[in-house]
Chain A
């Protein structure tokens, strides 16, 4: 009976310690993620070229940044049909095996240049007042 009670106590202490560990570890990470979220500008439709990653495909990048796909292929010096759905990492491995990271860096440059050369969007006209 006493042994069973001791065993129960150990289980309770283990649950308590595990709970404290999880709360501290994930609490700090949640706090950090929350401050990252709060500190960032809320621009869900305006991705940053620096956020381009190696797993992204040219087809996705041209859609997300609203740039003509041909422009990207031309600047990266690759042919369109077979590379549209390849990741930048795979394209790098195929075309520039001696220069790791080249395609990612070049894509960021190309997209930044394109966004800077694109005329800014015209301001939205103010909404007409609704009739009473």
Chain B
């Protein structure tokens, strides 16, 4: 098979239109390695070229990704039930992490939809596994996914036939943003250590 998964996906997107986009976004959100952001930018460009209807594309795309995220949440909840759940609940570290996620998970859920997209699937699993309330998860996830669909699709629409350049930029920007966050975390740890040492001295 000479053609890549991306080429096959783009070809299916042209052949089947918005339902194909919904399918790719669903399976991508559920955890399969699919170039979902690229498909979304491409769909925006195809809408600009009047090859796809942007309203139907946005609606079905959003529906697909919301279903996929909910599926990921369900998988997270399913795999941490029974004995696994009982053993996790005995660990104070797990309980502390669960409480932290319950308090600050909204931002993680929202920003992982469109900025730190590599973290979206793990965040879904963590939210499901940590018994994060589904209603709250759904709200932040829906807002984040709507931002993603309209931002990425809108950029594809704006750049039209030059969508491949935009897609290249966006896919790398997510990695850069994640790197900056990790550096910020490392710096905050270092400062905390320095303060603790100063207090001890």
A residues adjacent to B (C-beta < 8 A): 12, 15-16, 18-27, 29-30, 33-34, 36-37, 40, 42-48, 51, 53-57, 59-60, 63-64, 85, 87, 89-90
Q: Which residues from 70 to 88 on chain B have a C-beta closer than 8 Å to any C-beta of chain A?
A: none
Interface of A is mostly: helix
A sample of 18 cross-chain residue pairs with beta-carbon separation below 8 angstroms, ordered by A number, consists of A19-B179, A19-B181, A19-B183, A23-B183, A26-B172, A26-B173, A27-B179, A40-B162, A43-B162, A44-B158, A47-B161, A53-B10, A55-B3, A55-B7, A57-B15, A60-B46, A87-B7, A90-B11
The complex places the Cα of A15 from the Cα of B181 at a distance, in Å, of: 10
B56 at the interface (CB under 8 A from A): no
Tell me the complex Cα distance, A20–B181, Å. 10
Q: How far is the CA of A15 from the CA of B185 in the complex (A)?
A: 8
- Find chain A residues with CB under 8 A from B11 CB: 55-57, 87, 89-90
Query: What residues of A have a CB within 8 angstroms of the CB of B190 in the complex?
Result: 12, 16
B interface secondary structure, majority: helix
Of residues 121 through 180 on chain B, the ones whose CB sits less than 8 Å from some CB of chain A are 158-162, 164-166, 168-169, 172-176, 178-180
Chain A CB within 8 A of B97 CB: no
Query: How near does chain B come to A93, taking the closest CB pair, in angstroms?
Result: 9
The chain B residues found within 8 Å of chain A, CB to CB, are 2-3, 7-8, 10-11, 14-15, 46, 48-51, 158-162, 164-166, 168-169, 172-176, 178-186, 189-190, 193
Q: Of residues B8, B159, B161, which shows the largest number of chain A Cβ atoms within 10 Å of its Cβ? A: B161
Query: In angstroms, how far is the closest chain B Cβ from the Cβ of A83?
Result: 12
Q: In the bound complex, do residue A55 and residue B10 qualify as a contact, i.e. CB atoms below 8 Å apart?
A: yes
Q: Which residue of A lies closest to B170 (CB)?
A: A33
Given A22-B182, A26-B174, A30-B176, output 18 extra A-B contacts at Cβ < 8 Å.
A12-B193, A16-B182, A18-B179, A18-B182, A19-B182, A20-B179, A26-B173, A27-B176, A36-B168, A40-B165, A53-B10, A54-B3, A56-B14, A60-B49, A60-B51, A63-B51, A64-B49, A89-B3
Contact B178 A59 (CB under 8 A): no
Task: Report B-chain residues with C-beta under 8 Å of the C-beta of A47.
Answer: 49, 160-161
On whether the beta carbons of A64 and B51 are closer than 8 Å, the reply is yes
Question: Is B172's CB under 8 angstroms from A30's CB?
Answer: yes
| Chain B residue at minimum C-beta to C-beta distance from A47 | B161
> Are B176 and A23 in touch, CB under 8 angstroms?
yes
Closest B-chain residue to A34, C-beta based?
A: B169
Q: Is the pair B161, A33 in contact by a Cβ cutoff of 8 Å?
A: no
